[in-house]
Structure 1
Amino acid sequence: MKPVIIALLCIIFHSCKSDRQGDNQSSKELPTTPQNITIIINNPLKKQIFFDWSSLLDAATQPYDATAAHDTILIKSNIPVRLISSDMMGNSKIVQNTFLLYPNDTVFLEKPQSITNISTKSDQRNKELSFFPLFREQFGNYEGWSVPIPFRDDKPEKRFQKIKDTYQNHIAFANQFFQVNHSNSAFKNFIRKEFYYKQYYDFLALYQENLLKNKAIIQDAQVARFLADFKIDDSASEIPIYGYSVLLLESLLQAGKSEIDFYQNLKTKYSGKTRDIVLYRFVDFCIINSSKNISTLYTYFQKDAENIMLKNNLKEQYQFMANTLNSSGNKSLDSSTVIHFSDKKTLTWKQLLEKNAEKITYLDFWASWCKPCIEEMKYSHEVQKKYPNINFVYLSQDENYKHWENSILARNMSKESHYLIGTSKNSAILSQFNITSIPRYMLIDQYGKVINADAPRPSDAKLKTVFDELLKEK
């Protein structure tokens, strides 16, 4: 269990990483079906814009990295989404701001100068969106890939004091902000709980390596008192840092346990929403990392969990991984599999070529986490409109089904042209064509023969010349 838990903690750490229909909507019951969060990008100066977003139930993020003058991103979610913008200043300083977006929000993202700004047509929502930018001006970056674990080099007693002082300073800032700016009760509760659990995360994340050795730290009287104050709160289950902190704590307490025992202990120890979210995070991690206990853990979760959305999310991820595992031993190119986005059916490579026969096919190997891949997409769509007689087929190497699906839906991509490579690590498709880095593009003729294994990118003017020549020959 030790290697698994250490990897779990590393992933947890590195991932932390429309007009409103009335100002009180965010305090109402959240919709049970996914709603659109619309991000309208207005960037007339074509500055580099980078941000990533994640559901409050999801550790991994979806990136956006582009210089488009105008763009629209749609995020389907029935719970709030956390968006983190990243801006590189002239002095090489990185500025990262957090924005909390709600279902049915329409927000306007602009970059008039150096800093990305997000606003709405609601005064109250604008005040809430300004919270973390103002917080960053006083305390520095709160979260994002450029923020290291704090207090790493301090001795335990100094570390405790700094963590407590930081928490008190953050809460004082929040209380002062709420006195001046009218904010929704749901937003206030989120901020206060976020800061409360952040202190535990900051402390526990320091012990993510050498868990068996570090387990002795919980025997220290001061540490024991600190951890004894950790509050289990079902209402905090949709705040990511709450679930992370619970897993960090349990990983330290249960260092050395098997995956099955770890799951059963979580199930026994916790209840309600907390149990569901902690079990979900743990089983999802095991699925993504191809644990030998995937089937058992997934079956347990579907039986034990009450949250329908979590069960459905895990079901999609499990089914995707089951398909990849079933094809992992298949080294034949023709029988290697891909998963069609539109109907979720599995096709062999041979069937994929037959489906796109009679036309030249332009293959785009990409992934939702690949920034250059995403940047090329807008050029791909432009070229595709000019060449209707060429098939554009997109093959993703994502290992998380939901991240692949969310990325396609967010950008209004054609569902018919997208496929997921059945098993990325062992795929004969990647091996046969030596796909070691992405983005990568290939051209296949109407008979299934590769005519260019390293074709120009969509943003390269040479691609149009290549297309013109091929269509002329045909």
Structure 2
Amino acid sequence: MKYCFLVIFSIIFFSCNNEKKDSSVSDSTSTNPPQNITIIVNNPLKKEIFFDWSSLLDASTQPYEATSAHDTILIKSNIPVKLNSSDMIRSGKNFQVVQHTFLLYPNDTVFLEKPQSITSISGKSDQRNKELSFFPQFREQFGNYEGWFVPIPFRDDTPAVRIQKIKDAYQNRIAFANQFFKVNRSSKSFKDFISKEFYYKQYFDFLALYQENLLKNKVIVQDTQVARFISDFKLDDSASEIPIYGHSLRFLESLLQADKSEIDFYQNLKTKYSGKTRDIVLYRFVDFCIINTSKHIYTLYTYFQKDAENIVLKNNLKEQYQFMANTLNSSGNKSLDSSTVIHFSDKKTLTWKQFLEKNTGKITYLDFWASWCKPCIEEMKYSHEVQKKYPNINFVYLSQDENYKHWENSILSRNMSKESHYLIGSSKNSVILSQFNITSIPRYMLIDKNGKVINADALRPSAPKLKEVFDKLLKE
């Protein structure tokens, strides 16, 4: 599954057709008008291209998926943007996902192509070509660096062993970077980015594992080696626009303050930090609370709008908060619990029981997916084909997206039926997911006409035998 619950990435306009797109990510600290980052897609063979891009100021991803021969994407930004491509290489029933990272700068023009199986990006100068080749070369030596298919490393090791392996990985990455920069001319800003990215990745990799049960894991900070490792964490305002810095810092504070109430946690962060770092860490925390539908989201959101200086972060959080607030108001609830789903059509919330009752009368084929899940999106093409042949079967889609706007954009951009889509109210601790042991997606479920689950792990839409299953069920 993804770094999944962790990796949360950016508010940039979603685009996915042949027309010219315009996406805005502006830096509130600058009075200059945002510049264009231009991505020119050249795909004459019309191969499937899938990537996401994100502002380094925020950190959520918005996906791009198309098979267009040509496309142009404009991103307005005064700060660098990170693009992560995902290519699926099939080998029989198995597949491998190749993920590459590219760092794009304001006023950049880059050319994205997919001549064979792997997406490539080039620039207008030899120096930019070298910089854009950094992570693809890195992957050849170390494997995928980041993306939805990168697991938390060294999960089964003891803290001391895990720290040592993470430090070793850091030294190997730095050694690779130093060797790369010896033979490839690169800008100072690019070198600085790589240095800070790799440094804070250590803490991200270590702390990510302990977010699943903070109170239980809090004792870990009392370990001598862990305490020494954590105490070396460097606060750096100049790194605040690198997502890994903000994530790592929030993870660290969550572990240190695991017994604090959400309001006290916020106030501690506000007092402890300053400058850009304070805005980033407060944003990360409040956004996390909104995603998890905290009972204090209104108070925390109000605090942040008053305390933060960064206008971009304030606007991003406002969009996320307003969507959730509208959803809660329309349902008459004050919060979403771990067994609710949100209906796309009217934004009303339903319990799992109400959801099943709403979809009785027909056999239901339930698709668990998310907008960031490449295999999920690929299977949807087969799902729509099968759906046309079986109008008497109810196809319903239940998303695990944590960013509600991304869920909406993904549905609207693909012209999907609004009536058939739902969002899990709180996917991080969902009773629905745990009840049916749904730990990875895509996942499919068959429900009979009376709302009884008859297969909690059904065949995929691309499976030829699924039609035989449907035919048998319809005859019963």
User: TM-score, structure 2 length as denominator?
Assistant: 0.66
Q: Residues of 2 paired with 1:100 and 1:106: CA distance?
A: 12
> Deviation digits for residues 21-50 of structure 1, max 9, x if unmatched?
xxxxxxxx9775444322221111222222
Q: Is 263-272 or 101-110 further displaced after alignment?
A: 101-110
AA paired with 2:138? F
Which residue is equivalent to 2:63?
63
Secondary structure at 1:142 match in 2:
coil
Letter of the 1:88 counterpart: M
What is the CA-CA distance between 1:285 and the residue it aligns to? 2.1
Does residue 1:77 correspond to 2:80, yes or no? Answer: no
Alpha-carbon distance in structure 2 between the residues aligned to 1:315 and 1:405: 16
Q: Which runs of 5+ in 1 are unaligned?
A: 1-8, 17-28, 331-335, 339-365, 378-395, 427-436, 438-474
Aligned residue in 2 for 1:11: 5
Cross-structure match for 1:121: 124
Higher relative contact order (CA 8 A, sep 6+): 1
1:164 aligns with 2:154: no
User: Is the 1:109–1:117 Cα contact (8 Å) retained in structure 2?
Assistant: yes
1:295–1:114 distance in 2 versus 1, CA, 3 Å: same
Aligned-residue offset at 1:174: 0.9
8 Å contact 1:14–1:145 — kept in the other structure?
A: no
Paired residues for 1:105-254 under 5 Å: 105-254=108-257
Any idea what SS the aligned residue of 1:194 has? helix
Give, as a single letter, the amino acid of the residue that structure 2 aligns with 1:276: D
CA contact (8 A) 2:197 2:245 kept: yes
Contact 1:55–1:82 at 8 Å: present in 2 too?
yes
Q: Would the aligned equivalents of 1:39 and 1:109 in 2 still touch at CA under 8 Å?
A: yes
> Taking every aligned residue pair, what percent have the same amino acid on both sides?
78
- Kindly indicate whether the alpha-carbon contact (under 8 Å) linking 1:124 and 1:182 is maintained by their aligned counterparts in 2: yes
Which string of whole-angstrom CA distances, capped at 9 and with x for unpartnered residues, describes residues 303-341 of structure 1? 2111122122222333333333332239xxxxx868xxx
CA deviation digits over 1:233-289, x for unaligned, max 9? Answer: 111111111111111111111112211111111111111111100001111222233
Residue of 281, 284, 303 corresponding to 1:281 = 284
- Tell me the distance in 2 between the aligned counterparts of 1:370 and 1:134: 25
Matches within 5 A, 1:389-408: 400=403, 403=406
C-alpha contact 1:13 1:205 (8 A) present in aligned 2: no
Q: Distance in 2 between matches of 1:370 and 1:209?
A: 21
Letter in 2 for 1:154: D
* Distance of 1:205 and 1:267 partners within structure 2: 22
Deviates more, 1:88-97 or 1:193-202: 88-97
Residue 189 of structure 1, CA deviation: 0.8
**SS of equivalent to 1:127:** helix
* Structure 1 contact 85–98 (Cα < 8 Å) conserved: yes
Shift, 1:374, TM fit: 10
Mapped to 1, the partners of 2:243 and 2:320 lie a distance apart of: 19
Secondary structure, counterpart of 2:193 in structure 1: helix
CA distance in 2, matches of 1:30, 1:177: 32
Instruction: Give me the CA root mean square deviation.
Output: 3.8
| Aligned residues between the structures | 356
Do residues 327 (structure 1) and 330 (structure 2) align? yes
Larger Rg: 1
How far apart are residue 83 of structure 1 and its match? 1.1
- Mark the CA change 1:323 to 1:256 in structure 2 (over 3 Å): closer, same or farther: same
Could you tell me which amino acid in structure 2 is paired with residue 103 of structure 1? Answer: P
Distance 1:288 1:158 in 2: 33
Match of 2:302 in 1: 299
State whether residues 302 and 311 of structure 1, in contact with CA within 8 Å, keep that contact through their aligned partners in structure 2: yes
Change (3 A) 1:186 1:402: farther
Instruction: Determine the C-alpha separation between the residues in 2 that align with 1:279 and 1:324.
Output: 23
Task: After TM superposition, give the deviation of residue 425 of structure 1 in Å.
Answer: 6.8
User: CA offset at residue 165 of structure 1?
Assistant: 1.1
Find the aligned partners of 2:290 and 2:224 in 1 and give their Cα distance.
37
The Cα of 1:223 is off from its aligned counterpart by 1.0
SS of residue matched to 1:252? helix
Q: How has the CA–CA distance of structure 1 residues 375 and 79 changed in structure 2, closer, same or farther, with 3 Å as cutoff?
A: farther
- Which residue matches 1:433? none
Does 397-406 or 261-270 show the bigger shift? 397-406
In structure 2, list runs of 5 or more residues that go unmatched: 11-28, 334-344, 348-368, 382-398, 426-441, 443-476
Secondary structure of residue in 1 paired with 2:216: helix
